[in-house]
Structure 1
C-alpha cells in the first residue's frame, strides 16, 4: 500500500497541531481511518502496524537527543518550565548572599544552579538523579566558567549523601519521582545550618481519589520515570516531620501551566529548524513529538486539577538547649 493511502500516517506537523489544539491524537486517527474506508468503499484498508501509528524513536529517560530537544524548548541549561527570570524571582524568598552555600536538588542541566550563582553570588552544589543530565550539566558549567561555583553531580535519592553543610536548599520538581520522600527531606534537613531556608516546587495530587482515574493512571504509566506524587497536605506533614517549619505554601499551578504553554507555542519554529538539518534533524523531531505528548498530559492534568504544582518555603527548626540561653 502506498504512503498516500495510509490513513494512519499522520505528519509530525499535524500531530503537533492536534496536541496544541487539545485534541486526542487517537480520535483523529480513528476518524481518518473511517474517512479512508468510506472513500475506498469496497476496498479494505489493512490495519497499520504500531510503528506506523506512533512513529517515534524509543527515548531513554535522558539520552543525548532528549537533552538536545529539552534545550530547544526550554532554553540552554533547562529541561522544564521556568527560565532564568522565573528562577531569580522564585529564589528571592531565599534571601541569598555571596557568603552562602546552597544545595540544589534535581539540578537537571544546571540552568537554575548557574543562574543562582551568577545572580546572588552563592556557591552551589547541584545534585541530579540522572547521571546523563548531571554529566551534561557539569559540562555546561565548565563552558560557563562556573565549574567551582555551580557544580553539578550525580546522587542517589534512595541513599542521599551530602558531604558538607549548607545555608540554603532548593528543589525544583525533584521529589515527585522519589518514593521515600521523608528520608530525602530528613537528609536535606541534617545538612542545613541553623535558621536555614528550604524552597521547593513540585507536583502533587489534588486528592487520593484522583489516583484511580483513567487520566492519572495513563499519566503514571507513560511518565519516563515512575512518579510517586502525594497530596499537598501529606507533603506538608512530611516536611514538618523532617524538622522544618512551613512558612509559605502556595498553589502555582496556573502560572506553571502558562509557562508550559508559552514554551510550546514556539515549537513550530523548532520543528522547522530541525527539519532543515537532514536525517538527524528528522530523528530529533520524532523525539520532540514524544516530549510534546509528555507535556500535553501534564498540562491537561493541571488544567483538570488532577495534578497541582505548589511552591513551599520552609525553615529549619532550631532546638533550644542550655547553650542557647
Structure 2
C-alpha cells in the first residue's frame, strides 16, 4: 500500500481539519474553551470545497483508501455526489459496444500541473484577463522600460506586451519556470518583447533594477509578503523607476487589529505554515507608511479578495475536471498534494477576512538626498520565495 512520507503528510495536515476525537478523548484546547464559557462543546465538520475535494481524492488514491473514509477520518463533510442512474433506468444498447481501449496512466510534471490549474503559460490565478486588469494601472504611454519581477511562466507578461505594444523584461527566481517561460516567449515570437531571465542564486540584486531611473513601470504579484527586507525592495524599485513611473503590485496583507484587537484565526496560522513559515504580511497601515517613507505617492490601495477567491476556485475546478478523465502515475501525487496544500491554505485564510489580497499602485516621486543608494540587495528569507 502506498503511503505518504512525513514531509508530504505534514503539508496536508497543516491545511486539512484534524481527525475527530473518539468518544471520551478530550481535546485540551476545545475543552478549555468550553469550560471557560460554560457552554457544551460543539464540533462542526468542515465542508469540502473544490481544492479540498481534490486533496481528499489524491490522498485516498495514494493510500489505497476510499475517499469517504479519508474524509471521515479528517472530520470533513463531502458535498453530495451525483447519483448514478439505476441499472433499470439504463436502456440496453441494440448492439454490444466495442470495448474502449484503456488509456495508459501518465505522469504530470510540476509545470504541467501548474498550467492545468491556471491555463497554458500561466502560473498564477486569473489568466490573461486578470493580468491585463492589474497591469492597466500602469501608464503605458510613458517612455521607459517595463520590468516584471514575478513573471512566472510569462503568460500575463506576454498578454500585456502584446496589448500595449511594449517590451517587458521578466526576472524569475525559479530556474525551471524561467527556462520554460523563455521557451514559450520564443515559441510565440516574443523573445525580444517578452523575454524572461532567471535571477541569480542569491535572489534579486541591484543590477536587476538598472538602468536607474529608466523604468516606466515595475510589476510584482503575490510576492512582497515573503521578502525579508521589504523597505530595501521598495527602495531598489524606486531607484529603478523614472520620475512618475509606476509600481504596480498585488500582495497579501493582514486586516487591521490582528493580534491586538482579535486573535489570529487558525486558518491564518495554517497559511503561514503552508507558505514555509516565511509569510509575514504587513497590515494596510504598515504598507501605507512604508510606501510613503520611500518617496512614493500612493495612488490606489484596493482590496480585491472577493475577485481573487473565485479565480482560485475556477482553477481548481479546471484541474478537477482534468483529473476526472485522466489516469495518473503515483509520482504525480506528491506534487498535487504540495500545490493543493498551499492554495487550500491561501483560500481558507482569505475566507476568514483576516488576510486580504490588495492591488496597489504607487508613483515614484523624485528621491530625497539625490536618490537612493544602491547596495547589496538581500534575498527573501528563502531566495525561492519571491514566487511565480
Aligned to 2:308, what secondary structure does the other structure show?
A: helix
1:96 to 140, 144, 148: 140
| 2:51–2:316 Cα contact (<8 Å) kept | no
Contact 1:105/1:174, CA 8 A, preserved across alignment: no
**1:172 matched residue in structure 2:** 221
| Aligned residue in 2 for 1:161 | 207
Offset at residue 91 of structure 1 (A): 1.8
* In 1, Cα distance between equivalents of 2:2 and 2:338: 26
Describe the shift of the 1:285–1:271 C-alpha distance in structure 2 as closer, same or farther (beyond 3 A).
farther
Q: Counterparts of 1:263-274 in structure 2 under 5 Å?
A: 263-274=315-326
Structure scoring higher RCO (CA < 8 A, sep ≥ 6) equals 2
Greater mean deviation of Cα atoms: 290-299 or 218-227 = 218-227
Provide the residue aligned with 2:50 in structure 1: 20
| Matched-pair contact (CA < 8 Å) for 1:117–1:149 | yes
1:68-97 Cα offsets, whole Å, 9 max, x none, are 211011011211112111111222221314
Q: Which has the larger radius of gyration?
A: 2
> Are 1:139 and 2:139 an aligned pair?
no
1:243 CA drift (Å): 1.6
Consecutive unaligned residues in structure 2, runs of 5 or more: 4-15, 17-46, 60-67, 76-107, 370-388
Does the C-alpha gap of structure 1 residues 319 and 29 become closer, same or farther in structure 2, counting only changes over 3 Å? closer
Change (3 A) 1:224 1:19: farther
Residue 81 (structure 1) aligns with: 125
Task: Indicate the structure with greater helix content.
Answer: 1
1:270-312 CA-to-partner distances (Å, cap 9, x unmatched) read 113441xx53xx5335522432232111111101112100011
CA distance in 2, matches of 1:181, 1:114: 27
Partner residue, 2:314: 262
Q: How much has 1:161 moved relative to structure 2?
A: 2.8
Q: Given the alignment of the two structures, is residue 240 of structure 1 paired with residue 284 of structure 2, yes or no?
A: no
Determine the C-alpha separation between the residues in 2 that align with 1:240 and 1:32.
50
Q: Is the 8 A contact 2:128 2:156 kept in 1?
A: yes
Task: Give me the TM-score of the superposition, normalised by structure 1.
Answer: 0.75
Per-residue CA distance 1:39-75 (angstroms, 9 max, x = gap) = xxxxxxxxxxxxxxxxxxxxxxxxx922221101101
2:74 & 2:245 partners in 1: Cα distance?
Answer: 60
